[in-house]
Structure 1
Amino acid sequence: MYEKWINQLIKIELFKDIEREELKSILGCLKPTIKTYKKKDIITIEKDKLTGIGIVLDGEVVVGKETLAGDRVMMSKLRSGELFGEIAAFASNEWLATVVANTDCTILFFPPQKIVGICNKMCVGHRSLIQNMLQIVSRKALILNKKVDILSLKSIRKKISTYLIEQYNIENNLTFNISLKRNELAEYLLVSRPSLSRELINMQKEGIIDFHRNHFKIIDLQILKSCL
């Protein structure tokens, strides 16, 4: 059942430093399930009972939450090899966000109690799995903290500048592609799409940035930083 995905699974962060045979043993111990979804299918619903930690094997999913005002906020877009539900597994027994299939996709679900709990065998591979999971959760917590920082900003230009500088720091390049479409970026920054487009065009006219669809170039980094 899992053999088809072994070559892919062994490359992801969760299974770092785990040998192929050890990984097979872990999969046999944890007995994850594999499910397929069509585009726009709802995979998880916020506040429903947590059913497992998900790994995207194929396709793409979008993780989002609703604010008290009823606005939908995109938290992240996940592709093959990325996880969701890992923070909820440590924090509660319910989903902390709604996950929707952005394309046809295949998801592998691990029983959370078998990862964050105690395994009777407690093999070396399982210990590495827990250590890797803790690193992933810590990194996700930092990402969520940055997301809160962006949402707390009042100015659309500040939100755009913060996001673009973050992408620049990730890519270490003034030219980069972003993974979000324009409507998705608007949702991520919690602004209207027309307002986002208008401000991007203004920044382009002022010679701060240049862009075409998802391709961006920072022309004047110092001015962009001064927008923060």
Structure 2
Amino acid sequence: MIKELKKLPLFERVDSKIIKELIVSGQITKGSYPKDVTVHEQYSKCQGIDIVGSGKLIAYSLAANGYETIVFEFTKGDIIGANLLLGNLNKYPMNIYCTANSTLFHVSKKAVIDLLREYNFVIPFVKSLSLNSQGMNQRIAMYTQKSLRENLVDYLTALSAEQDSKSIILPMSKKQLADHLGVRRPSLFRELRYMKEEGLVEINNRAIEILFL
């Protein structure tokens, strides 16, 4: 497990002896979770941090009418719970759910407090907190300041840069994309249809040809 942890940014420069002691004492454990499993339920207490070793998870909220809003996505190396663990409101504000078979390294609160005395742990930990804050700010801007068209253009532009092509493949279903953007499916489908009619995109299931770039 030490070798696996050393490949992750949070533990990359932490002394192996320290990691070993935490593993032996049960302060760091490893868990495997299949797709479609909820790892943490909304409002449950955060008792440690989770580091994604493999797979993919999302943080989503569920409204009373059953409408889902995906707020964060977590992939290898990402940290779950870092912004909650040491706060007064240390309950998960959203469900943490596996969208793929995933491996998580669980680090207890005591271990985190001990590790915060280690400079080589503190820097990536603080960076994670910063990225989490930036992600939340982007979400707030998405939900309150931009139109669906603007958010779609931003998302497709980012995908084009990530895939280095104007012919992109959506990494999720259109239902999941609607949840990701915080809108209902009919609204997303309608906007995509308008964009196609205006000659901005060509759409074939998950394959999208971007014509506005």
Range into which the TM-score falls when normalised by the shorter chain: 0.7 to 0.9
- RMSD over aligned CA atoms reads 2.8
1:226 equivalent in structure 2: none
One-letter identity of the residue aligned with 2:101: D
Aligned length: 209
What CA distance in whole angstroms lies between the structure 1 residues aligned with 2:134 and 2:64? 23
Q: 2:55 aligns with which of 59, 82, 86?
A: 59
One-letter identity of the residue aligned with 2:49: I
2:43 equivalent in structure 1: 47
Q: 1:99 aligns with which of 93, 96, 101?
A: 96
TM-score (norm 1): 0.76
1:109 equivalent in structure 2: 106
Contact 1:40 1:102 (8 Å CA) reproduced: yes
Q: 1:94 to 1:113 in 2, by over 3 A?
A: farther
Q: 1:76 aligns with which of 72, 77, 80?
A: 72
Q: Percent identity, please.
A: 21
Q: 2:123 aligns with which of 98, 109, 131?
A: 131
One-letter identity of the residue aligned with 2:95: T
What CA distance in whole angstroms lies between the structure 2 residues aligned with 1:171 and 1:140? 23
Moved more, 58-67 or 45-54: 58-67
Deviation at 1:141, TM superposition (A): 0.9
Q: 1:167 to 1:90 in 2, by over 3 A?
A: farther
What CA distance in whole angstroms lies between the structure 2 residues aligned with 1:177 and 1:146? 23
Higher helix share: 1
2:18 equivalent in structure 1: 25
Contact 1:9 1:81 (8 Å CA) reproduced: no
Moved more, 51-60 or 164-173: 164-173
One-letter identity of the residue aligned with 1:111: S
Deviation at 1:44, TM superposition (A): 0.3
TM-score (norm 2): 0.81
Q: 1:164 to 1:110 in 2, by over 3 A?
A: same
1:204 equivalent in structure 2: 196
Structure 2 unaligned blocks of 5 or more: none
1:182 aligns with 2:174: yes
**Secondary structure at the counterpart of residue 92 of structure 2:** coil
1:9 equivalent in structure 2: 5
Structure 1 unaligned blocks of 5 or more: 222-228
Q: 1:89 to 1:208 in 2, by over 3 A?
A: same
